[in-house]
Amino acid sequence: MSAADTEAELRRLLLAGLAGDDVAYRRFLQLLAGHLRGFLRRRLFGWPDDVEDLVQECLLAMHTKRHTYQADQPLTPWVHAIARYKLIDLLRVRGAREALHDPLDEAMPLLGAAETDALDARHDVLEMLQSLPAKQRRSIECVKIAGLSVAETARLTGQSESAVKVGVHRGLKALAARFGVTRQPEGQR
């Protein structure tokens, strides 16, 4: 189903639901949950356990704020804005500094895979990270992919801050050496 079809279908179900059709509304929420799961999983792949919680958080938010959707407005931007707001909120609560996709975008040229789509890139990143020792891998996942600060990563993983920094630095260096990327990783975050 194309994005336009999905939009039309979801919109039809939501409007029917708001008009009192509980079956349509239920179907709307189910379809929406599926899309949200995909959207959030791509952005939270360092935190698979949080995906379902955030899906529920978003569903609840969209339900309680459904009066802010107007029938003459496209549904996708509305859904997207709320999901993104809740995602950033989760990261902020965790003390994260940025939305996830920024660090991910930065990491792409480093991996020499700027052309591949996000799914492949994610697969590649995960596979490459697997080749690192556990502590380096965890540090890179937290700092470079999830966008946490060094201090937060240290608290989260029980390492010292300098150990996190060293882990990120050595890990990236090892990846660069192994996968033949010449550009030096940029300054530590």
Partner 1 sequence: MRTDELITLLATRAAAERQAPAAAALLRAVVVGLLGALLIMLAGYGVNPALPQLPGRPMFWIKLGAPALVAASGALAVARLARPGVPAGRVGWGIALALALLWGVALAQWLGAPAAGRSALLWGQTWRSCPFSIGLIALPVLLAALRALRELAPTRLRLAGAAAGALAGGAGAAVYALHCPEFGAPFLAVWYVLGMALPVAVGAWLGPRVLRW
Provide the binding-site residues for partner 1, judged by CB under 8 A: 17-22, 25-26, 29-30, 33, 52, 55-56, 59-61, 63, 65-70, 73-74, 76-82, 84-85, 89
With CA atoms as reference, report the closest residue to 37 among 58, 23, 18: 58
Cα dihedral sign for 33, 39, 43, 45?
positive
**Minimum CB separation from partner 1 for residue 86, in Å?**
9
Look-up of token digits 């080749």? 131
Nearer to partner 1, 82 or 140 (CB): 82
Number of helices and strands in the chain (H, E): 9, 0
**Least distance to partner 1, CB of residue 113, Å:** 30
Q: Is 156 within 8 Å of 124 (Cβ atoms)?
A: no
Nearer of residues 59 and 132 to partner 1, judged by Cβ: 59
Q: Measured from the CB atom, is 32 or 143 closer to partner 1?
A: 32
State the nearest-atom distance from the C-beta of 152 to partner 1, in Å: 20
Least spacing, CB of residue 66 vs partner 1, in Å: 7
Question: Which phi-psi region, left, alpha or beta, contains residue 24 (left: φ > 0; alpha: ψ -120 to 50)?
Answer: alpha
Chain mean position to CA 95: 15
Residue nearer to partner 1 on the CB measure, 56 or 162: 56
Residue 89: count of CB within 10 angstroms of its CB: 13
Q: How far is the CB of 13 from partner 1 (least distance, A)?
A: 10
Complex with partner 1: residue 82 or 168, whichever CB lies closer: 82
